Amino acid sequence: MKTLEMVHEYDPRPLPCDKDSLKESIRDALIHIVGKDPLTATPRDWLHAVSFAVRERIIERRMFTERLFDQEQVKRVYYLSMEYLIGRMLVNSLMNLGFYEACCEALEEMGVSLHEIIDMESDAALGNGGLGRLAACILDSMASQCLPGYGYGIRYEFGMFHQGIENGEQVEHPDNWLRYGNPWEFPRPEKIFPVHFYGYVVEHRERGQTRYHWEDGEEVIAMAYDYPTPGFGNKNANNLRLWAAKATRDFDLDYFNEGDYIRAVREKIESETISMVLYPNDATAIGRELRLKQEYFFVSASIQDILHRHAELGYPIESLPDKVAIQLNDTHPAIAIAELMRLLVDSHQLPWQKAWELTRGVFSYTNHTLMPEALETWPVTLMERVLPRHMQIIYDINFHFLNEVRHNFPGDNDIVRRLSIIDENHGRQVRMAHLAVVGSHMVNGVAALHTELLKKHLFNDFYRLWPDRFVNITNGITPRLWLNQANPALADLITRHIGNDWTMDLEQLRRLEPLVDNRDFRREFQQVKRRNKERLAELVKRQMDITISPDALFDIQIKRIHEYKRQLLNVLHVITFYNRIREGRAEEQVPRVTLFAGKAAPSYTRAKQIIRLINDVADVVNHDPMNPKQQVVFLPNYDVSTAAVIIPAADLSEQISTAGTEASGTGNMKLALNGAMTIGTLDGANIEIREAVGEENIFIFGMNAEEVEQLKREGYRPRDFYESNDELRRALDMIRDGFFSPQEPGRYRDLVNNLLTEDQYMVLADYADYVRAHEAVDALYRDPEAWMRKAMLNTARMGYFSIDRTVMQYAQEVWGISPEGWV
């Protein structure tokens, strides 16, 4: 660790962060950057002025940090991800920089409330789910632990969509998060790289060597936008670089003069569509092609930028693995392997074997799914048309790789077929996960069970070939956001009793354990939970006009809507609870609010049908005068800011995916950290959470992964479970026969029939044990002292699930980097 004086001479007096200095900076930004008089400025004007004042201090840290990295000639890690769910940046930046309170006081003296303007900031629409949130947490942790790390992604002009609910159905609206500008980004018009599509490849001989040249086609310009990311409690700041697509030519004057005004700007519009929308609907051929172009676009620009920086620093290309580590966050960036090979072989004219050695030494791959159908594949015909040179390179990679396979498994043609990067059995597809494994020196799963299942099933043949290449790195969450920022009342309570070292060493929470037997501390903990529940109730009332009682048990399932997440299982329990109330059999059950939130992909019809079912059930349950104990809420447009209100208020965390389907999950960690009890299967990180908090402090139900596989082998008959369980049969019959959809009785007939005939995710098989587990939840919740004691132990024992542990494990076992910062 170095001091400021050891950095190259710059400005020895960085901007101060005291209240008076912040007032001056905010006033100056309001007048000279926003261009508004303080007497007439709107709340949004003040939001931008404060953001600019904070940004000034972040960019200083960014410059100093980069100078130090250059001076120390550090190895850098580059994180490639299609998503970064970073949320709102103002509060996070103020807390990481350590002058949140000073900014509050400065604004208060200027007649402005920081709390009021914070909510005006839009969540950055750069991600949708756990993949993007993990990427954001990793960037935060790298900066906080002084690791030289950078993020690369796409600057989407519109997010996936803004979710509305109309007549119970999900409706997608444009998520125009940039409509009011973005004070956090630095446009870099000088940082541009060409990205090529289509065309053809010309082969020629040069100095006795065969060379390839990619010609014709279309070219798009990738322009950089930088988002400095400050570390917590130190003066380091790393960088997130996002790429926006720009046309090589904005305007065709000839067409314009001829009166063809649309054609005059067509090229610009078509080019810039690439970075327009997060996850275009890929149910159509056009949407799928756009998705491929998006992935290659950001990967190509990023790899070109990495090589450009490497050369600028004076390093020879042969030193690439010594100075560069590239992490592939899932399969979306896997084409980067072929792109680096193209640049090394075609542009730097390295021999194939040397280029492959460098490429494999640079890349590592994080797998995020166990389901083969979720692993990305691309039709060979599409790849040959859109990226003809890369398809050639993938063929060559596959040729050399399969020779290695044949050498290790002589005569075994089946393993050659299974391992081939080209799937010949399903219309000739490029298996991007296979490319990622073959082209990386390390492959990691994101939970202990997930990694074991990768080795035993999904990537078993690869594991047999390269057992040392696979490692487990369990996901984590950042306590700076998900406790310190999202739950300040609990953070303050913890800090008053054990100090604030937990923000950078979450294992310090273990020191709370002796306090679980302290009645006064339990009462304070309970009061914090109550205030958080009241805050969530206010949000539900404001957005949904539904009044929910903070006295009820808050049962929370906040996830992407997907069949394997099993929101349907939760709905079946809601209906069972409802039927018991109607029949007068619910004396032992506690009042409960079941809250759902999450988005369904636009083309995922079944997931959207599940959202409608939830809302139909809610409409009946919430309006039944004979049902005083139960309410159901679907909160639309779930995002980071909404999560920061929901998570601290949760009593019960629903983690109920079919065992063997969830890679890890991080929502389970966030909820448990904030004192929610978990009801879940032995899936993903739930297993490690159970080990951490203790079997007696979690509600586990259902089959484990081995039992799921055994039932499948034996021949799963979902109708057997339907016929043998009266409550299950009644709930399904009510859904099928239109009890919750009287205006359209057949609305859910196909959904129920699918459960009775296929039930791919074994909802019916786990139903009875799920209901039993909920009965145990009710029994415990009737004893508030016992419940709170267990909830506190969940918080105290979540230290292992810090993202800082995750990132340091990557740094030591995968990337080969160490902390380099200044203090």
Annotation marks residue 332 as catalytic: no
| Active-site entry in 559, 573, 747, 774 | 559
| Active-site entry in 61, 469, 565, 608 | 565
CB-CB contact of 53 with 16 (8 Å): no
| Active-site entry in 65, 369, 594, 666 | 666
| Active-site entry in 360, 608, 670, 797 | 670
Strands in 92-199 per DSSP E: 149-154, 162-166, 169-173, 186-197
| Active-site entry in 196, 434, 560, 690 | 560
Annotation marks residue 455 as catalytic: no
Which residues share a beta bridge with 654? Answer: 679
Annotation marks residue 560 as catalytic: yes
How far apart are the C-alpha atoms of 107 and 19, rounded to whole Å?
Answer: 9
Q: What backbone phi and psi angles, to 5 degrees, belong to 218?
A: -120, 155
Write the Ramachandran bin of 5: left for phi over 0, alpha for psi from -120 to 50, otherwise beta. Answer: alpha
Contacts of 685 (CB under 8 A, 6+ apart): 446, 447, 474, 475, 664, 665, 666, 668, 669, 801
Tokens 């049902």 belong to which residue? Answer: 627
How far apart are the C-alpha atoms of 539 and 595, rounded to whole Å?
Answer: 12
Annotation marks residue 612 as catalytic: no
| Active-site entry in 293, 368, 797, 805 | 368
What is the enclosing helix (H) or strand (E) of 325? strand 324-329
CB-CB contact of 659 with 683 (8 Å): yes
Pairing between β-strand 677-680 and β-strand 652-655 as defined by DSSP bridges: parallel
How far apart are the C-alpha atoms of 297 and 682, rounded to whole Å?
Answer: 39
How far apart are the C-alpha atoms of 95 and 208, rounded to whole Å?
Answer: 60
Question: Whats the size of the chain, residue-wise?
Answer: 823
How far apart are the C-alpha atoms of 550 and 649, rounded to whole Å?
Answer: 9
Question: How far, in Å, are 450, 505, 794 from residue 509 at the CA level?
Answer: 26, 8, 10
Annotation marks residue 565 as catalytic: yes
Annotation marks residue 670 as catalytic: yes
Closest CA relative to residue 597, chosen from 634, 571, 563, 564: 634
Contacts of 53 (CB under 8 A, 6+ apart): 22, 25, 26, 28, 29
Q: Over the Cα atoms of the chain, what is R_g?
A: 27
Catalytic residues, by residue number, are 368, 559-560, 565, 666, 670
